[in-house]
């Protein structure tokens, strides 16, 4: 079956997953996380992608970005790979690829779907049993989004700014979103849409994106990829 063409629309948020080859680690030491984040910052700026959320897991990464052009995500990920993979290969005395094929992505509808996706990303370490609370995991955007932690990467989406009239109010209301456990059905919807390069949103939004793109953007039910 041919690969589904990625659907990219400027200013529509995009959830991206990139996994280590054969699910092997892509981060080996604290320095690797720090270097990746710095490279992400530079690559996102150069490609004109605004980063709203991220999490760096041991063997994969999640990003939520708003691209300024249709080519922005591909440019960002290509630049990031060209910088990070040689860095790891030099540090680890290895050769060859680090990532497992192409990155996966899905368009994310605004309104409640955006925050569902952000929660999905920042709760990843909790679901993996690595920490009890997202605040306890250092390599995610939760501290920046929920507590205003210093970050030169995160650019909040307009919907985040609309949570309150002041930044502290936005942070408080953002933290409140994490007080309720995410429904498993919603978690599966995010996973399925992203792994199939489809769309995460309402039926109306999915139909509208199909019309805009001229492509089939419904997730296909073929197997399961988890993260």
114-137 pLDDT per residue, tens: 999 999 999 999 999 999 999 999
- pTM value is 0.91
Six-digit token pair at 225? Answer: 């990829």
Q: In total, how many domains does the chain have?
A: 1
The CATH number linked to 100 is 3.30.70.1290
Distance (Å, whole) CA 39 – CA 226 = 26
Q: What is the mean pLDDT of residues 184-211?
A: 89
Backbone φ, ψ for residue 23 (5° rounding): 60, 25
Please indicate, yes or no, if residue 222 is contained in any of the structural domains. no
Per DSSP, what are the bridge partners of residue 104? 17
Does residue 41 register a pLDDT over 60? yes
Residue 219 placed within a domain: no
Q: Which pLDDT value is given to residue 211?
A: 79
Tell me which residue of 115, 63, 114, 109 sits closest to 217, measured CA to CA: 109
pLDDT score at 197? 86
Q: Is 2 domain-assigned?
A: no
Full residue range of the structural domain in which residue 97 is found: 14-211
- pLDDT tens digit string along 211-220? 776 665 655 4
């Amino acid at each position: 079956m041919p690969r589904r063409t990625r659907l990219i629309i400027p200013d529509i948020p995009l959830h991206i997953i990139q996994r280590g080859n054969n699910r092997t680690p892509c981060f080996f030491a604290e320095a690797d996380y720090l270097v990746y984040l710095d490279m992400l910052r530079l690559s996102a700026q150069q490609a004109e992608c605004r980063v709203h959320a991220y999490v760096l897991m041991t063997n994969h990464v999640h990003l939520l970005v708003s691209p300024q052009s249709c080519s922005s995500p591909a440019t960002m990920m290509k630049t990031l790979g060209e910088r990070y993979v040689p860095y790891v290969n030099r540090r680890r005395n290895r050769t060859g690829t680090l990532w497992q094929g192409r990155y996966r992505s899905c368009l994310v509808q605004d309104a409640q779907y955006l925050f569902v996706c952000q929660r999905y990303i920042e709760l990843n370490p909790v679901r993996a049993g690595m920490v009890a609370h997202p605040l306890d995991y250092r390599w995610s955007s939760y501290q920046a989004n929920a507590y205003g932690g210093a970050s030169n990467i995160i650019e909040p989406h307009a919907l985040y700014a609309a949570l309150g009239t002041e930044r502290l109010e936005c942070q408080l209301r953002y933290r409140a979103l994490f007080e309720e456990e995410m429904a498993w059905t919603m978690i599966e919807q995010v996973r399925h849409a992203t792994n199939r390069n489809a769309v995460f949103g309402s039926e109306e939004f999915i139909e509208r994106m199909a019309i805009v793109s001229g492509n089939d953007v419904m997730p296909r039910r073929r197997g399961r990829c988890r993260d």
